[in-house]
Amino acid sequence: MSDVQSNNIGEGTSIWQFCVVLRGAKIGSHCNVCSHCFIENDVTIGDRVTVKCGVQLWDGLQIEDDVFIGPNVTFTNDLRPRSKQYSDKVMPTIIREGASIGANATILPGVEIGAKAMVGAGAVVTKNVAAEAIVVGNPAQEIKK
């Protein structure tokens, strides 16, 4: 069973078991949100997006069409988090159309991953990734464009 509070979910989208989708989230059509995912209020997901198991999508995240997010990818929206001290403004993160993010990658807040870019499994993305670039490692470095 999942807790889906949002009414902004497109036709043909599947949300699997043990997911939480908060009221303000917007999810496009023909998406696949696999099990054990969490989607906060200020998240926009385009059409035909795949979100694999164990991913949390935090406020300020914009995901365009045809994006693949691998299992256990970690997004962040606060560069300096502190317990019980909340920022008034989250840092927006944008994943452009057709980008793919490999399993266990970490995406720091405020970055943009370009259209059709590929982030390798386990990479730590600390700065913007150009369109069609391939980045790997910690910190993520471009290996091909």
pLDDT digit string, tens, across residues 77-88? 988 888 998 877
CB atoms within 10 A of CB 144: 9
Asked if 100 and 81 count as a contact pair (C-beta separation under 8 A), the reply is no
What is the number of alpha carbons within 13 Å of residue 102 lying toward its C-beta?
14
pLDDT tens track for 39-80: 999 999 999 999 999 999 999 999 999 999 999 999 999 888
> Token pair 């889906």 is at which residue?
4
Give Rg (Cα) of the chain: 14
**Chain mean pLDDT for the chain:** 96
User: What tokens appear for 79 in the block?
Assistant: 């560069």
CATH superfamily assigned to domain 1-145: Hexapeptide repeat proteins (2.160.10.10)
Q: What is the pTM of this model?
A: 0.95
pLDDT tens track for 127-141: 999 999 999 999 999
